[in-house]
Every structure is written in structure tokens, then in C-alpha cells.
Amino acid sequence: MNESSKKENLDQLDKKIEEFKSKKEENRPKRLKVQNDGWRMVIELVTGMVLGVSLGMALDYIVGSEPIFLIVFSLLGFMAGVKTMMATAKKMNETNN
């Protein structure tokens, strides 16, 4: 083998390696983005619920009432979490299309 054929073989190998790396990197961020989007939506829902339950428990403690505020604010927190989650899903859908 002469030097020019070795150089050509190395160049071809480099091209194949770069193509493989680029294909691998193209698929990876999409998968991670989907996972991150899913966790983001779950966190938004849970945050709304936690805030609602916390406010309801605090108001029940301050006022000294039965768990009426807990029930009301739990429902309001759930609705706020769902509303935020739906807005995020809508924004993600617009950016993906």
C-alpha cells in the first residue's frame, strides 16, 4: 500500500465516523427533549396541587374551620395546574410544528 491509498482510506473512515456521530447526536436531543417536556408538565400539575393544598390547610388553621378551605383550594390548585399544563402543551405543539 502506498501513502496516497492509506490517506484515502483514513479520509473515508473519518467521513464514516462523522456521519455516525451526527446521526447519533440527531436522535439523542429529541428523546431527551420529550422526557424533559413530560417532567415539566408533571411538575406544573404537582406544583399547583401542592400550593392549593398548602393554602387550604393554612386558611383552615388560621380561621379554625373544618377542611372546607382545604377542599376548595385543592380543587382550585388542581384546575390551575391543569390550565398551566395545557398552556405548556399548546406552546410545545406550536414550536414543534
pLDDT in tens, 28-70: 666 667 778 888 889 999 999 999 999 999 999 999 988 999 9
> Residue 77's CB: how many other CB atoms inside 10 A?
22
Specify the pTM. Answer: 0.63
Distance, in Å, from the CA atom of 50 to the CA atom of 56, rounded to the nearest integer, reads 10
Task: Examine the pLDDT at 1 and tell me if it is beyond 60.
Answer: no
Query: If we measure between CA atoms, which residue out of 42, 40, 47, 43 comes closest to residue 77?
Result: 47
Quick one: pLDDT band at residue 71, thresholds 50, 70, 90? very high
